Amino acid sequence: TEDDNISATNSALCMQMHVDIDSKAVKKRPPPLRPRSKSVETLSSVQDLVMPSSLPWAETCERNNSHNQSHSNSLTIEANLPAGEYILCSLFSEFASLCERKIDIVMSEPLEQPLCKSLARVEDAQMDQILMSLSSVSEHCLACMLKFLFEWYDRQTGTLAVNAGLTQNRIRTLNKDYLLERRDLALDFLFGLVLLEVLKQLAVHPAPERILVRVEELAFSKFVPPDSQASSSPNAVNINLVADLYAELIGEMAVTRYSHLRKILISKISYLRSKEPPSIQHIVAMFMGMRFYRIKMFPVEEFEESCLFLSDCSQYFLESKEKEVRHTVA
């Protein structure tokens, strides 16, 4: 009948649609996963998959290391260091390399030229940026930064060779001692610059006492130069510049170590006064080195310490009879 034919046709169409749907489902079925290779299965941790070359700074590090192989004092930085250590080592390496270049420039200049012409803070934007970066990093690792700086300084002061770029004719015409003295002054100037920036974090980050004591001893030693560095030396102007810079450094440290610095000054002055005859020039230089000492009005304990410092100065002013000393203390 006609109804039987219609139902048979519908059944055939449904079967055809069911077959088409199954074929499409088979086509869209994702392929089976491939078995993992044995080399991956044997890895014990995710760290084994991380190679140093995959780190973002590895390529730059390798390029810098290959470029710095010719410099004996360059710092070799490993590519697989943590980010914080890499930043610290990179900044310190840049600072050391820049200091070497600046010392080379200073050694090629006339002895009479002041160091501030070549080493001033506002004269070199790159140097200013590195010093500011070191100061920011020191907020988190001041003790480590001071340790690195003193290791670098000790290494540089142990190198007493005259710059290789100087010609033999110039060495013959100039006194070799003055050249070495100029190099040491340039090194002291650069070291004072970086210490001045780094120790700004002393108020928020502690540092080992032995390192801070060494900084204070170094600064006070610059106020009273050796007798060999007479005022007639061609480096006399630079000696005064270095003393002024370290006086500023003492002023920065006085924010947190005012009591300790006051005791050091009293002991130094007492020693100089006990010498026969008393060294008036050295006493004047010592007081000039404390001219950046900051008088604090708050809290009360620090205000009392500041008053004691002023009292000591006024007492010495009354006891002293030398006009130069009285003028300096006033």
pLDDT digits (tens, 9 = 90+) for 303-318: 888 888 888 888 888 8
Q: Which of 40-44, 175-179, 253-257, 293-297 has the highest mean pLDDT?
A: 253-257
Mean pLDDT of 190-200: 95
Cα(298)–Cα(321) distance, integer angstroms:
34
Cβ atoms of residues 294 and 259 within 8 Å: no
- Given this model, what pLDDT does residue 61 score? 45
- Given this model, what pLDDT does residue 12 score? 53
The answer, yes or no, to whether residue 206 has pLDDT greater than 70, is yes
Spell out a b/e string for 288-297, using b for 16 or more CB atoms within 10 Å of the CB, else e.
ebbebbeeee
The residue ranking higher by pLDDT, 127 or 51, is 127
- Show Cβ contacts of residue 237 under 8 Å, excluding neighbours closer than 6 positions: 112, 114
The 3-class secondary structure across the chain, one letter per residue, is CHHHHHHHHHHHHHHHHHHHHHHHHHHHCCCCCCCCCHHHHCCCCHHHHCCHHHCCCHHHHHHHHHHHHHCCCCCCCCCCCCHHHHHHHHHHHHHHHHHHHHHHHHHCCCCCCCCHHHHCCCCCHHHHHHHHHHHHHHHHHHHHHHHHHHHHHHHHHCCCCCCCCCCHHHHHHCCHHHHHHHHHHHHHHHHHHHHHHHHHHHHCCCCCHHHHHHHHHHHHHHHCCCCCCCCCCCCHHHHHHHHHHHHHHHHHHCCCCHHHHHHHHHHHHHHHHHCCCCCHHHHHHHHHCCCCCCCCCCCHHHHHHHHHHHHHHHHHHHHCCCHHHHHHHC
Supply the mean pLDDT for the chain.
75
- Given this model, what pLDDT does residue 198 score? 95
Cβ atoms of residues 238 and 185 within 8 Å: yes
The answer, yes or no, to whether residue 272 has pLDDT greater than 50, is yes
pLDDT digits (tens, 9 = 90+) for 87-143: 888 888 899 999 999 999 999 988 888 998 888 777 788 999 999 999 999 988 899
- Given this model, what pLDDT does residue 244 score? 93
Query: Does the reported pTM lie above 0.85?
Result: no
The answer, yes or no, to whether residue 150 has pLDDT greater than 60, is yes
The residue ranking higher by pLDDT, 133 or 278, is 133
- Show Cβ contacts of residue 330 under 8 Å, excluding neighbours closer than 6 positions: 317
- Given this model, what pLDDT does residue 26 score? 45
Mean pLDDT of 211-216: 94
pLDDT digits (tens, 9 = 90+) for 216-271: 999 999 998 766 455 667 888 899 999 999 999 999 998 888 888 988 998 998 88
Cβ atoms of residues 81 and 124 within 8 Å: no
Confidence at 31, pLDDT banded by 50, 70, 90: low
- Given this model, what pLDDT does residue 226 score? 66
* Percent of the chain's residues with pLDDT above 70: 68
The answer, yes or no, to whether residue 44 has pLDDT greater than 50, is no
The answer, yes or no, to whether residue 10 has pLDDT greater than 60, is no
- Given this model, what pLDDT does residue 51 score? 36
